[in-house]
Every structure is written in C-alpha cells, then in structure tokens.
Chain A
Amino acid sequence: MLAQLGDDSKLLAGGQSLIPLMKLRFANPAHLVDLNFISGASYVKEDDGTLRFGALTRHAEIETSDAVEKISILHDCAAGIADVQVRNRGTIGGSLAEADPSGDWATVLFTLSTEVRCLGTNGQRTVTLADFIKDAYTTALAHDEIVSEVAVKIPPPGSGGAYLAFKRSAPVYPTASAAVQITMDRNICKDAAIALGCVGLVPVKAKDAESALRGQMLTEKTIQTAADAASAAADPQSDMRGSADYKRVVVGALVKRAIEIAVRRARGEQVEVGHIYA
C-alpha cells in the first residue's frame, strides 16, 4: 500500500509524535496509513533468552508487563515516557521508527543487545539498533517497510541497569537522559553500556565512560571518572531546555546516579526509579 501511495505517505502508529508534528505542519503527508487496526502486532513474549515486543505494543503495556521485570531498565523507560495518556497510545515500534533525538526508547535500547525486525514488500530483515538509527528522524527503513518487532536479549545474571531522565514536567521531552546497563562479577564490573539521550542527533554511546568502568571496582572515584567521560562525550545543542554546558552537567549527574542504581540492581536489590523533575 505504501508502495502504491508513493513517497508522500506516512505510517501512523500511536500518533503521539506524528499528530503534534502534523498540527505544526512540520509533517504534512498526503496520505496516512493507520497501523492500529492490524491485529496481533502488540505483544511482549519471552523466548530463548530474548524479549520480543510487537511493534504496536504501547508503552503502558510494557510498563505493566511481568516479562519486562527481567530487564528493569525497560520498565524505567516505559513507565517514564511522558504521561499516562501518551503511554496509553504511543508504541515502541513507532518511537524507534520516528527516531526523535529526544525519544526515550532508542537511548535505552542502545545499552542492550537490540535488533529491529523490518517487514516490507521484499520480505523480512533484521537490523541491529545501531544500524537502524541513521540520524535524527532517519532510520534504515525503506519507504515500503515497517517495523514489525523489537527483540532484546536478556542480559546475563549479575546484570543491572537504570534509565534516568531529567524533565521540566511529565508531558515534555527530557532535557537530558542517561541509560546505564552493567554486568558485575562480584565486585568487578565485567561489562558496561552507557547511552545518553537528548544530547546529540542520535543517542550518544559514551564509550570512554564504559571503558572507565570495565574491569574496575566501582568506587566513588571510578563512577565519577565515568560520569565525567560521559559529560565530555555529550554533544548537546543549546535550546529552550537549557544551554549546551548545562545539559553536559545534567547528563554527567544522571550517569553517576544511574550507575549507582545499576550496581544495586545488579546485586539483586529492588530499586524504584522515577524521572527527575526540575
């Protein structure tokens, strides 16, 4: 159908980004194809160490899914997006396909082993998230392709993660956000993944911050070194949410807190996370 309608058509999933963009005339498609009437595209399944999310699974369904308790950072994300009303409509597939630099899902999923399944007239293909997100609002999807599923590997035992976003109020995009996922071997950090949101055109993978943690005891000093490295990796723009310098400071502080929570969760502690409001 997209192939027939041509370039000037767009897919409508939850619509919580696209409809506001259309009202502002930032998006002006001649045709909208509403995906919401497709049945069976909303699910959370666990199989073979992988959590699979149907593209049309709403944030609210993920927030309340028992399966998601296995990866607490996913719960942090789903429960923190905007507000109840937006979470009741918005979808995980739509969020990734929109590739908004301030979107929450891509940032969080960058810290996990994530694959995006794309379905088109030429059949199905699987793309890693890193290959899927090309640029701000730009993905690897061909014009006649849709996201059908998002697959996330369940991290090994001894893992923990946390996602924190700093927001002015619930419905707005965050000023900055940080996702941290670590795997501990007793007191040593075996593996670490850190991604920063809203401080670049795509989620920023803070590689120096990750290496500052890997193979180390996570003391106050190592955590601070990682947070400073994350601040340096951020590439924010000054805008109405704050200056670039301010956002760099905020994102460093978020990384520090997120590491501390991730460590506690890796030890099996239950830690509730809420987004931070200005």
Chain B
Amino acid sequence: MPDGAKSGCVENISIQLKVNGKSYARTVEPRKLLVELLREDLDLTGTHVGCDTTYCGACTVLLDGAAVKSCTMFAVQADGAEILTVEGLEKDGELHPIQKAFGDSYGLQCGYCTPGLMLSSLQLLSRNKQPSEKEMRRAIAGNTCRCTGYQNILKAIQMAAQNMKGV
C-alpha cells in the first residue's frame, strides 16, 4: 500500500498513455478526470464538458476503440490506454470522412456536442459498416444535441458510412 494511503494525504500518480497516436507521461492527482487531463494538461480542448453528470456525452472519446464519457473516468484509469479525441480524427490535414459528412450534411449548428457525436459515430462505423437507422439512433442515444433535432446528424452518419466504404 502506498504510504500516502495510510497518512490520508493524496499522492500523485504517474501514468503513461497514448493520445491520438502520441505517447504522454504525466503525474496526476488521482481525482483528476480523464477529460481534465485532456483539456488542461494536454491542451486538447476539442473534448467538451457539457453536463459533467454522465448525461450529455459531449466529452465522449474512444478508449481502446470504445466510446466512453471522459468525465466519468479518472485520468489514472487510462494508464496504458490508447485514447482518440476529435483532434486525432484528421490525418495529414485531411478531414476524416465523419468530419466531412457532419459538415456536408449540416449535422451541426453550435458544434458543442459535435466532437462527442463524431466519436460515437466512429465506434459505430468501425464495428458496423452499414448501420440501419435504428442502429444509428441507438449509437448516439448517449449524445445530447440541443440544436439540430438529430435528423441531419443521422444523415451525416449515413453519408459517412457511404464515404467510408472500402476505407
């Protein structure tokens, strides 16, 4: 058991993780949330905090390929993991097909929820190349959008699925 645990004082913990393909080593307070690590320590502010109550999904990132709410996980729990955030979607200045589709289909208005929605869409499309409308709705049920009414988001996911065929 670490000494700090006995005395009651909090000991910082060293972690290593990969974010968007880049390795990072950081020493963090155990209470720090993953989203705080991303935004405050790594300056990756594309991942948003919407509700901070595990409801809205604005903070969604991929953890080893699975969509998770980064406000509902401690940074130390990502030790050894690979994280993908919205900043990691584009490659060599080229937008990811999902990013393009969200733009082309007007799948966003204010854009606050968009990073999370795109990462939920990516988990879906990486496991299911041709999702039905029902599957799309289920995949984004944990992402709240207060502007679009979701119709254009569904169109965007469908367009992305088309564009990602053969990728």
Contact = CB atoms under 8 A, between A and B. Distances in A.
Nearest to A60: B66
B123 A84 contact: yes
B107 interface: no
Given A1-B1, A4-B1, A84 B77 contact: no
Contacts of B52: 23
B83 to A, nearest CB: 13
B142 A89 contact: no
B111 interface: no
B113 interface: no
A171 B6 CA distance: 37
Contacts, number: 77
B136 to A, nearest CB: 11
B68 A85 contact: yes
B54 A34 contact: no
Contact of A5 (B5, B57, B143): B5
B142 A82 contact: yes
Given A86-B142, A88-B66, 14 more contacts: A5-B1, A16-B54, A32-B74, A83-B141, A84-B67, A85-B60, A85-B67, A85-B72, A86-B72, A88-B67, A89-B69, A89-B72, A169-B144, A171-B144
A84 B139 CA distance: 6
A31 B2 CA distance: 11
Interface residues on A, range: 20 to 34
B93 interface: no
A83 B76 contact: no
B85 interface: no
Interface of B: 1, 5-6, 8, 30, 33, 52-57, 60, 63, 66-69, 72-74, 76-77, 120, 123, 138-139, 141-144
Contacts of B144: 169, 171
21 contacts: A12-B74, A15-B72, A15-B73, A15-B77, A16-B54, A19-B33, A19-B54, A19-B72, A20-B53, A34-B77, A60-B66, A83-B143, A84-B120, A84-B138, A85-B69, A88-B66, A89-B68, A170-B142, A171-B141, A171-B142, A172-B55
A7 to B, nearest CB: 13
A20 B72 contact: yes
A38 interface: no
A172 B138 CA distance: 14
A124 interface: no
A204 B74 CA distance: 34
